[in-house]
């Protein structure tokens, strides 16, 4: 973990998984999923990203892919259960996108949720996730 406090955005309009530091944006029958700026801060700069293949069934808390950081490779844990429809090929080819713009261009995967009704209640809105981060990082500067 960095010795400096977190400084970054936690935008409204998304749902957050505090356990895995991931976000979800529901879009009809699909959902965009990505890592939060805080999750990236904790892991360190991402230098590689690989998603599971299209059609993969991913359960909440299981790996949807991997990220490579300067000193380690980490499983990216799914915030919800879903069937993978598409990976963000731009992020796989240019992983710096994940660091620069984690909530828009830096989404990781698009999936079709398989247990949304049961799992959405376990996700936090932006205000609750900001409070969560502020408890962990008392000096955090959250936008």
In a domain, 85, yes or no: yes
In a domain, 75, yes or no: yes
Strands 82-87 and 109-113, sheet pairing = antiparallel
What is the tens place of the pLDDT at every residue in 71-124? Answer: 899 999 999 999 999 999 999 999 999 999 999 999 999 999 999 999 999 999
In a domain, 98, yes or no: yes
In a domain, 2, yes or no: no
In a domain, 143, yes or no: no
Q: Answer yes or no: pTM beyond 0.85.
A: yes
In a domain, 104, yes or no: yes
Query: What CATH number is attached to the domain comprising 92?
Result: 2.40.50.100
**What is the tally of structural domains in the chain?**
1
Range of the structural domain that residue 102 is part of: 7-136
């Amino acid at each position: 973990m960095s010795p400096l406090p977190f400084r970054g955005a936690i935008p409204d309009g998304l749902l957050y998984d505090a356990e895995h530091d991931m976000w979800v944006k529901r879009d009809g029958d699909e959902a965009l999923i990505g890592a939060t700026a805080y999750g990236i801060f904790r892991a360190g700069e991402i230098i590689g990203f690989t998603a599971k293949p299209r059609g993969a069934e991913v359960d909440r808390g299981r790996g949807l892919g991997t990220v490579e950081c300067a000193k380690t490779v980490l499983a990216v844990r799914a915030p919800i259960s879903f069937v993978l429809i598409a990976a963000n090929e731009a992020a796989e080819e240019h992983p710096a996108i994940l660091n620069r713009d984690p909530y828009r261009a830096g989404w990781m995967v698009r999936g079709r949720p398989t247990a949304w009704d049961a799992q959405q209640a376990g996700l936090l809105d932006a205000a609750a996730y900001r409070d969560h981060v502020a408890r962990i990082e008392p000096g955090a500067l959250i936008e």
